[in-house]
Structure 1
């Protein structure tokens, strides 16, 4: 068996998981918008960035912990929100939460989750709620109230999905064959039948302020690829801006998150935290994302691949990322994530804002 920290174990994760998934589930997990240009470039884009490592630095003790929205996390990555976790494994989000709590990683819970907020919170994980706002904002109230009552530490507003980009599975659409208990268990019964429950087409900066006032929680805006949009989010009160292409599932031919991240960091400066997802597959990717300006990295598809083996699989993913990230930090001469800020090989006026 491969060592949990070996690159070969992480590299083979998707292929091993594919054999344990039905065709509709596998296609849902792996699908991309359009011709898959954005999704196809995501992982390779991190490898295009170059680092300038330090030498003659004591890296005996490396501390990869970070502070996110005022709370300590033992690792600089977290779990991105994904649906249908209970279709991947019966324990679903609860298994992911247990493993993430043990690793000290933040977990972002999809509003479409198939596990209750209370069950997820009972694992002790630090968790944030991801939401799509409906046309009638008041319909989001009960979901938000449940999340606050269960101890959510933040709200993540997804802003890049006014509509869902078309995709064409070879067999049945997963939503047509999924068990109803696998999704949306935290909504009121009959939610989707109510007028105004469809995704809002009129999202604006005012929604950031509304969410913050409605929940009393910090708001993170997910799906930002431009510096000017990032500034608007911060000016509207966002505590964090999340650089994301929704896994390449929305507007195809969007630029990769690795390319977008430095611009967003420069636009935000130290006024808000900046996160990134998309194509992160190893500890060297984590280091590169930190160097490019991210305060934390979030991982989506690899978590679903690991979840095939339940809690143990997700725990192994966290362990492998930790081994690789610590090794990369040592080789770069960095004892903490803050030490990575000057590693990226860019022109001086293009470098991410130092924190």
Structure 2
């Protein structure tokens, strides 16, 4: 079931709206259960509520008398050149937000010159998404039935995924703050039918016995680089890299897993320091402006991932709404970089941060 058509500003206006207004407008057009599914955090929603403020708590020390007549926000990520270090992260069930689902999201991200991470809980087939996407990665949950995982990965590889994102912070799914209304999921997908009636097909649950060897197994299975998502500790990050991870994504799952887990912005510096410059560290959680992106880069991230803002923009404007959102982050980042005295991404470092963190 898709959201009704939105009224109000044209899609190109969406990206510059305050994040609170963007979410409020999306809430007005989405079915209640769909909005709650996307927005909800776990338990008391403390981690969800703290995410954005953790970025805004940082203060900047701009450099002056630097040539910023031309600012380049471009970055290379695992061999792919992006217009800005802003990526569409994996979020589930996009056809609850728009009839074209992840296909529209992928098209919108591609038009902005960025990269899309397709959730394994998607409502469009990888082949459909690949036809609309630019560069894209595939997000993986290692399931109790490892054969389902293998088949999903093989299908994504055949469709052209360039990397895998193994999400490791969800051995179980905790209660989340929703009304309990049934999700308005499409009825033509086996997984969606199962979730929609409040059950899970046998084998579809995440495997809680998962260990470090999953990184190597995924790489061997696919031949693709494997990034590990859901890391908040420096020691875990180092261990993942030693086990073969091609990248680490600092994330507390949007506050949807362990409530009171530290904000990604607070975990990022120690993880980046532990991993070093050779392996990319990405981050998600509460990134709502281009200035937030600048702070994340200064704290050691190679790029950020967006979650909920992508879904809100999809609901309101389809592919064009997603493009407008991504473009707005790039424009805001360019402005923030210029004002901070940085003409290139490589000039953004911890020296821009008051106190160095």
TM-score > 0.5 by shorter chain: yes
Q: Distance in 2 between matches of 1:113 and 1:121?
A: 13
Task: Name the counterpart of 1:282.
Answer: 289
Is 2:226 aligned against 1:219? yes
In structure 2, the CA distance between the partners of 1:6 and 1:105, relative to structure 1 (3 Å rule), is closer
- Aligned residue number for residue 82 of structure 1: 91
Please state if 1:326 is matched with 2:334. yes
Cα distance per residue 1:142-163 (max 9 Å; x no partner): 1111100110010000000000
**CA shift in 2, pair 1:344/1:164, >3 Å:** farther
Shift of 1:184: 4.6
The answer to whether 1:158 aligns with 2:164 is no
Output the CA distance in 2 between the equivalents of 1:332 and 1:136.
Answer: 50
Per-residue CA shift, 1:11-47, capped at 9, x if unaligned?
4211111100111111111101110100000001101
TM superposition shift of 1:51: 1.7
Match of 2:344 among 330, 333, 336: 336
2-side partners of 1:6 and 1:152: how far apart? Answer: 27
DSSP-derived class of the 2:137 partner: strand
Question: In 1, are the aligned partners of 2:298 and 2:353 still within 8 Å (CA)?
Answer: no
Q: Secondary structure at the match of 2:87?
A: strand
Q: Deviations over 1:132-189 (max 9, x none)?
A: 0012423311111110011001000000000001125224132xx422336858xxxx
Give the number of equivalent residue pairs: 341
Query: For residues 8 and 100 of structure 1, do their structure 2 counterparts lie closer, same or farther at Cα, with a shift above 3 Å needed?
Result: closer
Matches within 5 A, 1:3-152: 4=13, 7-152=16-161
Scaled by the length of structure 1, the TM-score of the pair is 0.91
Work out whether residues 27 and 169 of structure 1, in 8 Å CA contact, stay in contact via their aligned partners in 2: yes
- Measured after TM superposition, the shift of residue 71 of structure 1 is 1.3
Between 134-143 and 61-70, report the one with greater CA deviation: 134-143
- Larger deviation: 132-141 or 216-225? 132-141
344 and 54 in structure 1: CA distance in 2 versus 1, 3 angstrom threshold: closer
Q: Which moved more, 1:136-145 or 1:102-111?
A: 136-145
Q: How big is each residue's C-alpha offset from its partner over 1:252-279, in whole Å with a ceiling of 9 and x where there is no partner?
A: 0011000000010001002311000000
| 1:236 aligned onto 2:243 | yes
Pairing partner for 1:204 from 197, 211, 214: 211
CA distance in 2, matches of 1:77, 1:183: 32
Deviations along 1:201-241, one digit per CA (max 9) or x if unpaired, are 11111100100111000000000000000001000010100
Cross-structure match for 1:173: 182
What is the distance in 2 between the residues matched to 1:323 and 1:168?
34
Show structure 1 runs of 5+ residues with no match.
186-191
Matches of 2:205 and 2:55 in 1, distance apart? 35
1:310 pairs with 318, 321, 324, which one? 318
C-alpha distance in 1, partners of 2:45/2:190?
26
CA drift of 1:197 comes to 4.0
- 1:57-86 residue CA offsets vs partner (Å, 9 max, x unmatched): 111111111111111111111101111111
CA distance in structure 2 between the aligned counterparts of 1:197 and 1:36, rounded to whole angstroms: 26
Aligned position for 2:196: none
